[in-house]
Amino acid sequence: MFDPSTVDLNILRQRAYNLRWANVPADIIPLTAADPDFPCAPEIAEAICRFAKQRYFCYCSPDGLPEFKESMARYYQVKRQIPASPDWIFPVDSAAYGIYLTCKAFLSPGDEAIIFDPVDFLFRYAVEAAAGEAVTFPIPPGDTGMDMERLERSITRKTRLICLCNPLNPTGKVFNKEELLFIGQLACKYQLVILSDEIWSDIVYAPNTYTSIASLSKEIRDRTVTITGFSKSYGLAGLRIGSVMASDKKVYDLLMDASLHKPTIHGASVISQVAAATALDKCEDWLKNFLQHLHAMRDLCVDSLNAIPGFSCLPPAGCYVAFADISGTGKSCTEIQQILFDQAKVAVVPGLKEWFGDGANGYIRLSFATSEEILKKALASINNTIHRL
Residue 323 sits in a domain whose CATH number is 3.90.1150.10
Q: What is the pLDDT of residues 249-296, one digit of tens each?
A: 999 999 999 999 999 999 999 999 999 999 999 999 999 999 999 999
* Per-residue pLDDT at 84: 97
Cβ(65)–Cβ(270) under 8 Å? yes
Calculate mean pLDDT across residues 28-57: 97
Q: Are residues 148 and 54 in the same domain?
A: yes
Q: What is the pLDDT of residues 120-144, one digit of tens each?
A: 999 999 999 999 999 999 998 988 7
What is the Rg, in whole angstroms, of the alpha carbon atoms belonging to the chain?
21
pLDDT reading at 145 higher than 90: no
* Per-residue pLDDT at 144: 79
Residue 255 sits in a domain whose CATH number is 3.40.640.10
Distance CA 388, CA 342 (A): 13
Q: Are residues 269 and 366 in the same domain?
A: no
Q: What is the pLDDT of residues 216-247, one digit of tens each?
A: 999 999 999 999 999 999 999 999 999 999 99
Strand (E) or helix (H) holding 227: strand 224-229
* Per-residue pLDDT at 143: 80
Examine the fold and report which residue of 228, 247, 282 is the final residue of a domain before the chain moves on.
282
Whole domain around residue 56: which residue ranges?
A: 48-282
115 alpha-carbon distance from chain centroid: 14
Q: What is the pLDDT of residues 167-222, one digit of tens each?
A: 999 999 999 999 999 999 999 999 999 999 999 999 999 999 999 999 999 999 99
Q: Are residues 344 and 308 in the same domain?
A: yes
Helix extents (H) in the chain: 9-15, 42-53, 66-79, 95-106, 121-129, 148-153, 177-190, 218-221, 231-234, 249-259, 270-282, 284-306, 333-339, 353-356, 372-388
At 243, is the secondary structure helix, strand, or coil? strand
Q: Are residues 167 and 210 in the same domain?
A: yes
Strand 89-92 vs strand 242-245: parallel, antiparallel, or unpaired?
Answer: antiparallel
Percent of the chain residues past pLDDT 70, beyond the cut: 100
Q: What is the pLDDT of residues 80-132, one digit of tens each?
A: 999 999 999 999 999 999 999 999 999 999 999 999 999 999 999 999 999 99
pLDDT reading at 1 higher than 90: no
Q: Are residues 198 and 335 in the same domain?
A: no
Q: Are residues 235 and 370 in the same domain?
A: no
Helix axes 284-306, 372-388, angle to 10 degrees: 20
Q: Are residues 97 and 240 in the same domain?
A: yes
